[in-house]
Amino acid sequence: MFIRSQLVVMLTLLGLFQLAHAQNNGLTRQYSFCMDRSNGVTVKMLDCLGTEIKHQEIRLNNAYKEVIASLSPERQEQLKSAQRAWLAYRQENCSFYADPDGGTMARVSANECFMSTTASRAKELETLRP
């Protein structure tokens, strides 16, 4: 019973965290609604995260293309280098959350990391657009 109570509290906090990120990083409303409807079911949460990750990847790629097209060749190389480093960071950092001993919530945490990190980078690049 105690473990179940902890799980409910953790899922509630995760939901509040996601809503805060949604407002700050440009996550879709559909994502928030999807997570609300998931009722804490891991498979449903992973589906919501997968859909939002695809959306944020498109957003990131579009912002990157717009920014890089507006830069001089020298600055393009700087951005390419920075983006490669950021991609490596995102992969390593979010993979850390996928603790093999962390149960199903570790997969949710790793995917949430990937989604929120991607959304943050997309927002950052959007501020650099001409």
Domain boundaries, the chain: 2-128
Q: What is the pLDDT of residue 130?
A: 85
Asked if residue 42 lies in contact with residue 105, where contact means CB atoms within 8 angstroms, the answer is yes
State the number of CA atoms in the 13 A half-sphere of 108 facing the CB.
19
Please state, in angstroms and rounded to a whole number, the distance separating the CA atoms of residues 65 and 96. 29
Contact 111, 46 (CB under 8 A): yes
- Across the chain, what does the average pLDDT equal? 88
Question: Measured between alpha carbons, how far is 84 from 114 in angstroms, rounded to an integer?
Answer: 15
Q: Does domain 2-128 have CATH number 1.20.1270.180?
A: yes
Distance, CA of 19 to CA of 71 (rounded, Å):
34
Where the chain has pLDDT below 50, the residues are 19, 21
